[in-house]
Amino acid sequence: MAREKKARAKKEQLKGKVEEAVGRATGDERMEARGRGKQAKGDAGQAKEKAKDVFKH
């Protein structure tokens, strides 16, 4: 279960990076901002899962 959540968060980070890059390349500021938001959401998910691992062991 935890691996799935970590993978989902990592996927969210990657999608955010791609979306931000496409937004920057096309000059679409809204898309670029959405990409940064997805990256932040993925970062938070990763941090949450890592914190859970620390307290689990």
- Tens of pLDDT along the chain (57 residues)? 678 988 999 999 999 999 999 999 999 999 999 999 999 999 999 999 888 888 876
* C-alpha separations of 55 from 39, 45, 52 in Å: 25, 16, 5
| pLDDT at residue 1 in the model | 66
What would the DSSP string read from start to end of 5-50? HHHHHHHHHHHHHHHHHHHHHHT-HHHHHHHHHHHHHHHHHHHHHH
| pLDDT at residue 39 in the model | 96
